[in-house]
Amino acid sequence: MLEQQLINALSLGSVYALFALGFTLIFGVLGVINLSHGAIFMLGSYAALLLVDKLALPLWLALLAAMLVAGVIGFVVDYLILKPLRARNAPHLIPMIATIGVAIMLTNLAQGLFGAENKRFPFGTIPEESFNVGHLHVTALQLGIIGISVVLMIVLLAVMRRTQLGRALRAIAESPKAAYLLGINVEGLFYLTSFAAAALGGAAGVLVGLSFNAISPFMGQPMLHKGIAVIILGGMGDIRGAMIGGLFLGFAEVLTVAYISSDFRDAVAFGLLFLILLIKPSGMFGKVLERKA
Amino acid sequence: MLEWWEGFWATYNAVIYGIGVNAMLALSIYVTLSCGLLSLANAAFMGIGAYTAAMISMQTALPFPLALAAGALLPALVALIIGIPTLRLSGVYLAMATLGFGEVVRVIVLNMEITGGPMGLNGIPLKTEFWHIALLLAATLYFLARVRRSKIGRAFEAIKADEVAARLMGVNVPAYKLLAFVIGAAIAGIAGGLNAHYTFTIGPNNYAFENAVEILTMAVFGGIGNLIGPSIGATILTLLPEVLRYFKEFRLAINGLILILVVLYLPNGIWDPRRIQAFRQRRQARKER
Amino acid sequence: MLKFNQISKRFGGLQVLNDVSFSVPQGGIFGLIGPNGAGKTTVFNLATGLLRASGGSIEFNGQDLGSIPPHRITELGIARTFQNIRIFKEMSLLENVVVGMHDHLDYGFPGLLLNLPSFRRVEAAARERALELLSWVKLDHKAGMAADSLSYGEQRRLEFARALATKPKLLLLDEPVAGMNPSEKTELMAEILNIKQRGFSIFLIEHDMRFVMGLCDRIAVLNFGRIIAEGVPDEIKNNPEVIEAYLGKEEEA
C-alpha cells in the first residue's frame, strides 16, 4: 500500500539526495560538472566491501573509512586534473570532458581489478532485523540508510549556513574572484570541497551497495545519470534543491514502479529532466544560470 | 599477393568500415561544436537512423539508398522537434538536456516490440560495401567544407565566439543553431544506417551514453578546429583498440587516460593548425640562425 | 529616427528606466550622457532588442520595435558596438567584418554547395567591401590577422568597421573612446565625423564630456533612469541639474 511505498521512496530518495549533494557541491563551488562522481560512488562501495571482507572491519567503521578513501580520490582528481585546467581558465565544458575520461578510467580499472560480476557483502554484514510500526514494515537497513543520509545532510547544511567555512564556500560559489580578493583561500577550499563531495558520494555508494547487496564496476553510471537529473531538477549548485530533488526522484521512481511498470524506472529520471529543462531550466531552486567570473 | 589482401580484408574490413563510420560520427558532433553547442545526443540520432534503415531493409523491399535516406531523414526530423525547445539552453544545460534525450530514446527503444526490445534487431542484411562508406564520407566532407567556407560556416563560428554579438550582426542565432543540430543528426543517422548494415545486429546498448562519449572523445582528441581533426581523431581511436589488443581488458582505461591527457596537454586536439604553424615557424627560425 | 516613448524598464524590484522619452534625429550625432549606473546601456539594449521594455514603446523610422528579435532589428538598420568589446576573437579582422554583412550576402544553397560563379562573386565582393571598411578605420593592413592580436584601441575600431558592415542607418556606439589616450580619442573623433559625413546617423553613449560636447549635435542627459535634460551642447553645459548630477566634476575617462 501507499505508506509502504513511502518508506521505500524515502530510503531511495535519501541516497539519491546524498549522491546529488556531492555532485551539486562541486558544481556550485568549483563550477564543474564532475562526471566522475559516479565512478567515485562506485569506488566507495568497493572500498567498504574490501574493508569488511579483508580487514573484518565493523560496518560503521568501514563506512567512515570508505568515505575517507573516496574523499582522497576526489581530492587527487581535483589536484591532478581540475587544478591545471583552472589555472588555464579553460571554458567550463573542458573540465567536464576531462572528468568523463576519469570516469572511464576508474570504471575500467575497477572492472579489471575486481571483475565485472556483482559482488556481495560477506554474509552477516548487513543487518537483517526489521520492525513493524503499525502496519508498516521497515528494515533496520532502511532506517540506517535514512538515518545516515539525514545526519550527513544536516551536517552539511549546518556547515553551509552557520559556519565561517560555509560562508566562504557560498562566497566562492557566487564569485571566486571576489572571494579571493576578500582574502578567502579559494584554492584550498576547492580541494576541501572536492574531498567532501567525493566523501559524500562514497557514502552514497556504500549505502546503495548495502541496500541492493550488489556491487559492480558499472553501478556508477546509472547513478550518475540520476544525479544529473536530480541536480537539474533541484537547481544546479543548490543544496536544498539537491536534497528535495533527490527525494522527489525517489518518490517518482518508486511510485512509477508500483503503479505503472518497472520497465520505465530508469526513464523516469530522464523524463523529469527533460520536462524541467523545457519548463524551468534553472530548476526548482536555481537562480542564476550564468556564473560570474 | 591477392591472397594476402583477401585475408587482410576478411579480418580487418570491419575496422576499415569502422573508421569511415566513426569519422562521420566525429564530423557530426564537429558540426554542432563548431556552432558552440555540446550535444550528447548524436549516439541517439545514430541509433534512430540505424533502426530506421534496418527496419526498412528487413521489412520492405525498398532499395538500400532509400533505407539510408530514411535513416538520415528521421533523426533530422526528431532533431528539429526537440531542438526548438532545447537549443534555447546554453552550454552545460544543453549538454545535460541532450544527454537526457539520448537516454530517453534508449529506454523507449529498449521497451518497444517493433525494435526488438533488449535483444535489438538481428539478421540485418549485409548491404554495406566499402564504396558506400567512402562515397558518403567524401560527400559529408565536401558538404561540410563548402558550408564552412560560406556565410553559414561564418555564422556558426560567430555564434560560437560570441552569441550576442552574432545576433546583433544580423545572424538569426536560433535558426542557425537548429541548422547545425539537424545537420549533425542527419550525418549521425546515415552513419548509423551504414553501420547497421554490416554489423548484422544492433541493440539499444549500442547507442547509449558511453557511445555518445566515444564520439565526443574522437572529435575532441582529433581537434575541432577544422574537418581534418575529427577525421584523424576517429581514425586513430578506431585503430587504437586493435593496436592495444594486448591490453584488452584495460583498453577503455587507456581510452580514458588518452582523453584526460589530450584535454590537459593538447587542448586543441591532435590536429591543431595553430600549433603546427607555430612549430613550423620555430623550426624555420632555428634554421635561419 | 529613433523615438523612445515613455519607456520604463524594471529588473525585478529595481526600476532602471522611468518614463524615458527622447528622439534621435536623422543625420547628425546624438549623445546620451549621465553618471555611471544611470541606465544608458539599458537604453541601447532596449533599442537593439536584447531586452524588452516593461512599459512604453520604441519606434524606428515609424516602425514599432516591439517584440522584434535582435537580428531583425539589425536588418532594419540599427547596428551597435559594445562597451566591453565583443569582437570574434579567433576570427581574422576580415572575417569579423564579413560576418557583419551576413544579411546582405544573397546566394542560394545550390550556389554555396557547388561553388557556382554567383557564390564566388558575392563572396569576393564581400571581402572587397570588408577591406574597404577596414581602411576607413585604418586597419586594412592587418586584415588577415587574428582579432585578438590587436591592441585595445584597434579592437574598438574593428568593432566599428564590423558594425558599419551591416549597412546600418543608425549606428549605436557604446562608450567608443573608453580606455583610450587623448591622441587616440582625437583620431576616433575625426573618424566618427567622417562616418557622419558618409551619411550614417550616430547615437552614442559616453562619459568623456569634452568628447561629447565637441562631437554631438544634440545631447540627452540620463540620471537615475530619468531624462533630466535634452538639447544642444551649450544648453546642456549650462543646465544646473546636469551640473549637479555630475557633482560639478568633469569626467575624464
What pLDDT, on a 0 to 100 scale, did the predictor assign at position C154?
Answer: 86
pLDDT of residue A78: 95
Alpha helices in B87-121 (DSSP H): 91-111
Report how far residue C15's alpha carbon sits from residue B252's, in angstroms, rounded to the nearest whole number.
56
Asked whether residue B145 carries a pLDDT value surpassing 50, the answer given is yes
- The residues, ordered by sequence, that sit 6+ positions from B4 with a Cβ below 8 Å of its Cβ are none
Cβ within 8 Å of residue B111, ≥6 positions away: A263, A264, B117
pLDDT exceeds 70 at position C250: no
Judge whether residue A25 has pLDDT over 80: yes
Q: What is the ipTM of this complex?
A: 0.85
Within 13 A of B202's CA, how many CA atoms are on the CB side? 31
Q: Is the pLDDT of residue A293 over 50?
A: no
Whole-number Å distance between alpha carbons of A237 and C117: 54
A-proximal residues of B, 243-272, CB under 8 Å: 249-253, 255-260, 263-264, 267
User: Best-predicted range by mean pLDDT among A117-131, B270-284, C166-180?
Assistant: C166-180
Is B241's pLDDT higher than 90? no
Distance from CA of B163 to the nearest CA of C (A): 10
Q: What is the mean pLDDT of residues A270-276?
A: 79
Q: Tell me which chain C residues have a C-beta less than 8 angstroms from the C-beta of B143.
A: 113
Distance, in Å, from the CA atom of A54 to the CA atom of A22, rounded to the nearest integer, reads 28
Nearest CA in chain B to C47: B168
Find the residue in B nearest to A270 (Cα).
B100
**Residue-averaged pLDDT of chain C:** 85
Q: Stretch C51-61: mean pLDDT, rounded?
A: 88
Contact (Cβ atoms closer than 8 angstroms) between residue B242 and residue A83: no
First to last CA, chain B: 50
CB of C29 closer than 8 Å to CB of C205: no
Residue A292 has pLDDT above 50, yes or no: no
In this complex, which of C89, C107, C162 lies closest to B169 when CB atoms are compared?
C162
Quote the pLDDT of residue B289: 66
pLDDT at A257: 84
Determine, for residues C102 and B155 on separate chains, whether the beta-carbon distance falls below 8 Å: yes
* pLDDT tens readout for residues A49-61: 999 888 888 888 9
Amino acid residing at C143: A
**Rounded distance, CA A22 to CA A152, Å?**
11
Report the alpha-carbon distance of residue A271 to residue B100 in Å, rounded: 8
pLDDT tens per residue, range B193-225:
999 888 888 888 888 877 888 888 888 888 888
A278 touches chain B (CB under 8 A): yes
Long-range CB contact pairs, A264-270, < 8 A, 24+: A264/B107, A264/B111, A266/A222, A266/A225, A266/B103, A266/B107, A267/B103, A267/B104, A267/B107, A267/B108, A269/A225, A269/A226, A269/A229, A269/A230, A270/A225, A270/A229, A270/B100, A270/B101, A270/B103, A270/B104, A270/B107
Given this model, what pLDDT does residue A67 score? 95
B264: helix, coil or strand?
A: helix
Mean pLDDT of C214-226: 86
Can you tell me the distance from the alpha carbon of A126 to that of A86, in angstroms, rounded to the nearest whole number?
42
Q: Is C225 left (phi over 0), alpha (psi -120 to 50) or beta?
A: left
Question: What is the Cα–Cα distance from A291 to B134, expressed in whole angstroms?
Answer: 45
Q: Where are chain B's structural domains?
A: 2-217
- Counted across chains B and C, CB pairs separated by less than 8 A come out at 79
Domain C1-77+168-253, CATH number (from 1.10.40.30, 3.40.50.410, 3.40.50.300, 3.30.470.20): 3.40.50.300
CB contact under 8 A, A98 and B96: no
The verdict on a CB contact (< 8 Å) between A98 and B259 is: yes
pLDDT band at B183; cut points 50, 70, 90:
very high
Give how far A54 is from chain B: nearest CA, Å.
25
Alpha-carbon gap, residue B113 to B115, rounded angstroms: 5
Query: According to the model, what pLDDT value does residue A80 have?
Result: 94
Distance (Å) from the alpha carbon of B84 to chain A's nearest alpha carbon: 10
Contacts of C91 in chain B (CB under 8 A): 154, 157-158, 161
Q: Does residue A257 contact residue B64 with C-beta atoms inside 8 Å?
A: no
Separation CA A248–CA B105 (nearest Å)? 23
| Residue B244 grid cell | 592495444
Confidence of residue A287 (pLDDT cuts 50, 70, 90): low
Residues of chain C in contact with residue B162, where contact means CB-CB under 8 angstroms, are 86-88
pLDDT, residue B74, reads 94
Please give the share of chain B, as a percent, with pLDDT higher than 70. Answer: 98
Please, which residues have CB within 8 angstroms of residue C182's CB and are 6 or more apart in sequence?
none
Inspect the interface and report whether the beta carbons of A103 and B253 lie closer than 8 Å.
Answer: no
Confidence of residue B118 (pLDDT cuts 50, 70, 90): confident
> pTM for this structure?
0.85
- The kind and range of the H/E element at A265 are helix A265-279
Q: Which range is least confidently modeled, C105-109, C165-169, C170-174? A: C105-109
Q: Which positions in chain C touch B154 (Cβ < 8 Å)?
A: 91, 95, 98-99, 102
Percent of chain A with pLDDT over 70: 96
Q: Higher confidence at residue A293 or residue A144?
A: A144
pLDDT at B142 over 80: yes
Centre a 10 Å sphere on the Cβ of residue C247 and count the other Cβ atoms it contains: 7
Q: What is the DSSP letter of C250?
A: P
Give the mean model confidence (pLDDT) for residues C101-123.
Answer: 85
| Tens digits of residue pLDDT in A146-197 | 999 889 889 998 998 889 899 999 888 888 888 888 888 899 999 999 999 9
Question: Chains A, C in contact: 3+ Cβ pairs under 8 A?
Answer: no
Q: What is the pLDDT of residue A240?
A: 85
Query: Which chains share 3+ C-beta pairs under 8 angstroms with A?
Result: B
A241 within 8 A of A285, measured Cβ to Cβ: yes
Average pLDDT (B275-285) is 79
The answer on pLDDT for B245 being more than 60 is: yes
Q: How confident is the model at residue B176 (pLDDT cuts 50, 70, 90)?
A: very high
Q: Which three cell numbers stand for residue A95?
A: 573540465
pLDDT score recorded for residue C104: 87
- Reply yes or no on whether the pLDDT at B113 is more than 80: no
Cβ-nearest to A33 among B92, B253, B264: B92
Judged by CB atoms closer than 8 Å, whether chains meet at B171 and C113 is answered as: no
Contact C74 B168 (CB under 8 A): yes
Q: Which residue has the higher pLDDT, A232 or A208?
A: A208
C touches which chains (3+ CB pairs under 8 A)? B
A15 pLDDT band (50/70/90 cuts)? very high
Query: What distance in Å separates the CA atoms of residue C69 and residue C111, rounded to the nearest whole number?
Result: 28
Mean pLDDT for chain A overall: 86
| B11-33 residue pLDDT tens | 778 888 889 999 999 999 999 99
| CB-based contact C76:C60 (threshold 8 Å) | yes
Q: Which residue of C has its CA nearest to B156?
A: C99
Cβ of C48 within 8 Å of Cβ of B168? The answer is: yes
Q: Which helix (H) or strand (E) holds C221?
A: strand C218-223
CA of B32 to nearest chain A CA: how many angstroms apart? 14
Q: Which residues of B touch C119 (CB under 8 A)?
A: 150
